[in-house]
């Protein structure tokens, strides 16, 4: 047996073969049709489309053969590829090259072979289109023509696919190149540095220049240790040595140094660059500036710490009055108390409850303000009168400490404005209360002025002043500025006042000099109203005066048994006739069957809640032309949260829990008045 010789340009031929990416691909109908057609044309049992690889011949399509490949050394097609011309063997037994070939002496027992080369446009024979028979045959040049024509068609098909593949790959490469260029141009905070095995910089990205402050030519050819701190100059060598032994990328988080000597926190990973034999030939480092991440981590840590401090402060300020409530209520249960002791313990319980109530209200107020869930409820109000009222409220406290409390109202301050009375009073009272609390001698002065629609209220004191190191945190919740006085507080006043100022389009500013005093200046943007155009009916109405009328008929809808008992007890002590029901549906039926001067409805009840019940009552009143009942919403929610919904449902009054006896007394006085008006 004579094996086919290997062509001198075998490496070129193989490169051409591999460029078509045809080897070891799945069967395709076009090639299968081709071999079936050959078998029909020539009436032979075997036909193949064969591609000759380095050491094998591989059949893209074969009819009459079970194997998908055979060794090149025994192949007939190898001779066709070596010669580059058609090969016809009419009887292998008579041909010295093939008579003892295993493909002749054993299956498939080839006796006849005819093959033509598949030649690329560049002249490289990459495969063979052939037919075979187990019987010898005569075969003329004319018989060879159909085989040659089909071979040309096959190579044309391969060439078309090859061009399409090349174009697709070119488009992919161009797209990838554009993507890479765009990444390098856009990722200015990402640095790419390629170094040799000595740690010398060979190439950098544009992001490297932006990150480290060097021009590219200042980095090429210099040690990569240039961007490391002096104490870290051994790091590059250590990393390269590790990559020699282990090809796993090395990841580090450490400070790196810019050209001006400044440092920044960096996260970088060094990747190995290897050759075809997996030998390390270079490294590529990818570096990110993680200053923002570190800042966020620090802010998060501070936020967690602030949350912990806040919760500790809340816990302390909640437990302190709660301790008084629980302790003195236990003492009140003892039977051997004198009337004076019982009165004193009850007063301690009341004070603890008031303090607890104040803290909860302040926390809820601050939460709503900070979450943006509160809106200013504006109304026409007399601003100078409001300021004078606040001064009058705090003047006794100032006099007890021997402090002068002065109020200076500028002539340019408008008399009437459109504003939120409750919020203005709350902010101003917090500022005045703090000023008196922290001032031991001298004065507290409130000044009010206006410029356009901006109102300015300043509260100045002659207290100790605020140290510079405390000024940034003075507006934080529960920060009491190291106050050691006797007056109790929660450290929420300034935080609430600032949120209120911002709600009204202004802010709260601090000016303090240690040892001389402090001035808090509140600004707000409020609409000025002309006195002539301000209807008297819009001005704040006055609550009813005098004791409530005895014998008022009150329907209380309250699902909590304890609150129901407390409401009944307090109302009956005010000489009211009280009917208590525990849900909205029962309350609706009870109202239908009776006559009541006041309905006191809990907001959250089973069946119908307070708002649904109010709507149902107003609807039936309209349908039946019944006189409207006076409805008060009794709720643990803040008034600002439910006021608008309550008015829309038909409520006249709002009473917040916990209800004081005085609040109930005023409510009943208004309910019994001939022309009752709710305080707004």
The whole-angstrom separation of Cα 680 and Cα 671 is: 15
CB-CB neighbours of 169 under 10 Å: 11
Instruction: Tell me if residue 573 falls in helix, strand or coil.
Output: coil
Topology of domain 10-165, CATH:
Beta-Lactamase (3.30.450)
Is residue 374 within 8 Å of residue 640, measured between CB atoms? yes
Highest mean pLDDT among 284-293, 315-324, 522-531: 284-293
User: If you average pLDDT over residues 377-403, what whole number do you get?
Assistant: 87
The whole-angstrom separation of Cα 145 and Cα 44 is: 16
Quickly state the pLDDT bin for 469 (edges 50, 70, 90).
Answer: confident
**pLDDT tens per residue, range 488-518:** 444 577 877 888 888 888 899 989 888 889 9
What are the boundaries of each domain within the chain? 10-165, 187-289, 301-371, 379-538, 553-671
What CATH number labels 379-538?
Answer: 3.30.565.10
The whole-angstrom separation of Cα 645 and Cα 643 is: 6
User: If you average pLDDT over residues 318-347, what whole number do you get?
Assistant: 78
- DSSP readout, 549-611? PTT-EEEEE-S-HHHHHHHHHHHHTTT-EEEEESSHHHHHHHHHHS--SEEEEESS-SSS-HH
Output 88 or 659, whichever has higher pLDDT: 88
**pLDDT tens per residue, range 199-249:** 999 888 888 998 999 998 999 999 999 999 999 999 999 999 999 998 899
Quickly state the pLDDT bin for 17 (edges 50, 70, 90).
Answer: very high
Sheet containing strand 201-204, strands side by side? 201-204, 190-195, 280-289, 263-274, 250-257
The whole-angstrom separation of Cα 386 and Cα 363 is: 25
Is residue 239 within 8 Å of residue 228, measured between CB atoms? no
Residue 122 has pLDDT above 80, yes or no: yes
Is residue 238 within 8 Å of residue 250, measured between CB atoms? no
Residues 6+ apart with CB under 8 A from 96: 2
Structure tokens belonging to residue 358: 């104040």
Provide the terminal-to-terminal Cα distance of the chain, rounded to the nearest Å. 116
pLDDT of residue 484: 41
How many Cα atoms sit within 13 Å of 656 on the Cβ side?
A: 11
Structure tokens belonging to residue 569: 């007890």
Output 543 or 578, whichever has higher pLDDT: 578
Q: CA distances (Å), 300 to each of 154, 231, 289, 350, 622, in order?
A: 68, 30, 19, 40, 57
pLDDT of residue 483: 39
The whole-angstrom separation of Cα 103 and Cα 107 is: 6
Question: Among 34-43, 206-215, 542-551, which stretch is predicted with the lowest mean pLDDT?
Answer: 542-551
Q: How many residues does the chain have?
A: 680
Topology of domain 187-289, CATH:
Beta-Lactamase (3.30.450)
pLDDT of residue 179: 74
User: If you average pLDDT over residues 243-264, what whole number do you get?
Assistant: 93
Quickly state the pLDDT bin for 367 (edges 50, 70, 90).
Answer: low
**pLDDT tens per residue, range 127-155:** 999 999 999 999 999 999 999 999 999 99
Instruction: Tell me if residue 39 falls in helix, strand or coil.
Output: helix
The whole-angstrom separation of Cα 166 and Cα 671 is: 92
Q: Which helix (H) or strand (E) segment is 293 a member of?
A: helix 291-332
User: If you average pLDDT over residues 8-30, what whole number do you get?
Assistant: 91
pLDDT of residue 667: 87
Closest Cα partner for 526 from 396, 641, 392, 386? 386
- Which residues does residue 517 pair with via DSSP β-bridges, in sequence order? 513
**pLDDT tens per residue, range 90-111:** 999 999 999 999 999 999 999 9
Closest Cα partner for 464 from 489, 483, 486, 492? 483
**pLDDT tens per residue, range 604-632:** 888 889 999 999 999 999 999 888 999 99
The whole-angstrom separation of Cα 310 and Cα 631 is: 39
pLDDT of residue 553: 93
Spell out the CATH class of 301-371: mainly alpha
Q: Return the percentage of the chain with pLDDT > 70, whole number.
A: 86
Question: Among 67-76, 135-144, 264-273, 331-340, which stretch is predicted with the lowest mean pLDDT?
Answer: 331-340
pLDDT of residue 311: 66
- Domain 10-165 and domain 187-289, same fold? Reply is yes
Q: Which residue has the tokens 């400490």?
A: 401
Instruction: Tell me if residue 407 falls in helix, strand or coil.
Output: strand
Buried b (16+ CB within 10 A) or exposed e, 525-550: ebeebeeeebeeeeeeeeebeeebbe
Q: What is the mean pLDDT of the chain?
A: 84
Structure tokens belonging to residue 53: 């690889």
User: If you average pLDDT over residues 578-601, what whole number do you get?
Assistant: 92
Quickly state the pLDDT bin for 11 (edges 50, 70, 90).
Answer: very high
pLDDT of residue 377: 67
Q: Does domain 553-671 have CATH number 3.40.50.300?
A: no
What is the C-alpha radius of gyration for the chain, rounded to an integer number of angstroms? 48
Q: Return the percentage of the chain with pLDDT > 90, whole number.
A: 44
Is residue 665 within 8 Å of residue 575, measured between CB atoms? no
Output 469 or 95, whichever has higher pLDDT: 95
Instruction: Tell me if residue 501 falls in helix, strand or coil.
Output: helix
Quickly state the pLDDT bin for 486 (edges 50, 70, 90).
Answer: very low
Residue 181 has pLDDT above 90, yes or no: no
Is residue 124 within 8 Å of residue 104, measured between CB atoms? no
User: If you average pLDDT over residues 172-194, what whole number do you get?
Assistant: 72
Structure tokens belonging to residue 524: 């707000």
- pTM > 0.85: yes or no: no
């Amino acid at each position: 047996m004579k094996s086919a010789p290997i062509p001198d340009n075998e490496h070129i031929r193989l490169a051409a073969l591999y460029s078509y990416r045809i080897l070891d691909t799945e069967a395709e109908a076009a090639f299968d049709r081709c071999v079936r057609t050959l078998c029909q044309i020539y009436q032979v049992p075997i036909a193949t489309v064969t591609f000759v690889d380095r050491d094998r011949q591989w059949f893209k399509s074969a009819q009459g053969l079970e194997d998908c490949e055979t060794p090149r050394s025994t192949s007939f097609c190898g001779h066709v590829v070596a010669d580059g011309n058609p090969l016809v063997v009419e009887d292998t037994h008579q041909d010295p090259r093939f008579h003892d070939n295993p493909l002749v002496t054993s299956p498939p027992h080839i006796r006849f072979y005819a093959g033509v080369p598949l030649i690329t446009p560049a002249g490289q024979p990459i495969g063979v289109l052939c037919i075979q028979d187990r019987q010898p045959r005569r075969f003329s040049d004319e018989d060879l023509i159909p085989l040659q024509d089909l071979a040309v068609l096959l190579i044309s098909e391969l060439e078309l696919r090859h061009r399409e593949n090349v174009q697709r790959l070119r488009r992919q490469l161009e797209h990838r190149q554009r993507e890479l260029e765009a990444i390098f141009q856009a990722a200015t905070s990402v640095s790419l540095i390629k170094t040799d095995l000595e740690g010398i910089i060979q190439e950098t990205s544009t992001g490297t220049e932006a990150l480290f402050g060097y021009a590219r030519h200042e980095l090429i050819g210099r040690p990569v240790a240039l961007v490391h701190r002096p104490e870290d100059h051994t790091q590059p060598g250590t990393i390269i040595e590790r990559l020699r032994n282990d090809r796993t990328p090395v990841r580090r988080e450490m400070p790196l140094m810019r050209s001006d000597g400044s440092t920044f926190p960096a996260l970088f990973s060094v990747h190995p660059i290897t050759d075809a034999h997996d030998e390390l030939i270079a490294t590529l480092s990818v570096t990110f500036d993680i200053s923002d991440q570190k800042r966020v981590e620090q802010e998060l840590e501070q936020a967690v710490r602030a949350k912990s401090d806040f919760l500790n402060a809340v816990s302390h300020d909640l437990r302190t009055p709660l301790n008084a409530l629980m302790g003195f209520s236990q003492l009140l249960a003892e039977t051997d108390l004198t009337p004076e002791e019982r009165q004193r313990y009850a007063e301690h319980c009341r004070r603890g409850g008031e303090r607890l109530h104040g803290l909860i209200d302040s926390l809820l107020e601050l939460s709503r303000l900070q979450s943006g869930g509160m809106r200013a409820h504006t109304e026409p109000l007399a601003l100078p009168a409001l300021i004078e009222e606040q001064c009058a409220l705090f003047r006794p406290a100032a006099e007890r400490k021997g402090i002068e409390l002065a109020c200076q109202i500028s002539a340019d301050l408008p008399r009437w404005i459109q504003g939120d009375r409750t919020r203005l009073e709350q902010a101003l009272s917090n500022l005045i209360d703090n000023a008196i609390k922290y001032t031991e001698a001298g004065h507290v002065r409130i000044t009010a002025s206006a410029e356009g629609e901006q109102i300015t209220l300043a509260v100045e004191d002659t207290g100790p002043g605020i140290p510079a190191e405390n000024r940034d945190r003075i507006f934080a919740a529960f920060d009491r500025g190291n106050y050691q006085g006797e007056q109790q507080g929660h450290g929420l006043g300034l935080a609430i006042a600032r949120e209120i100022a911002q709600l009204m389009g202004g802010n709260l500013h601090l000016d303090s000099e240690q040892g001389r005093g402090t001035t808090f200046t509140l600004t707000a943007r409020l609409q000025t109203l002309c006195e002539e155009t301000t209807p008297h009916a819009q001005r704040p109405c006055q609550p009813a005066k005098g004791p409530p009328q005895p014998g008022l008929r009150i329907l209380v809808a309250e699902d909590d048994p304890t609150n129901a008992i407390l409401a009944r007890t307090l109302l009956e002590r005010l000489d009211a006739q009280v009917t208590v029901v525990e849900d909205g549906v029962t309350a609706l039926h009870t109202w239908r069957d009776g006559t009541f001067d006041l309905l006191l409805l809990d907001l959250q009840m089973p069946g119908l809640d307070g708002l649904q019940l109010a709507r149902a009552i107003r609807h039936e009143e309209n349908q039946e032309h019944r006189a409207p009942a006076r409805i008060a919403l009794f709720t643990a929610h803040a008034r600002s949260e439910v006021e608008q919904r309550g008015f829309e449902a038909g409520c006249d009054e709002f009473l917040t829990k916990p209800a004081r006896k005085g609040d109930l007394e005023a409510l009943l006085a208004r309910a019994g008045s001939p022309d009752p008006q709710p305080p707004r």
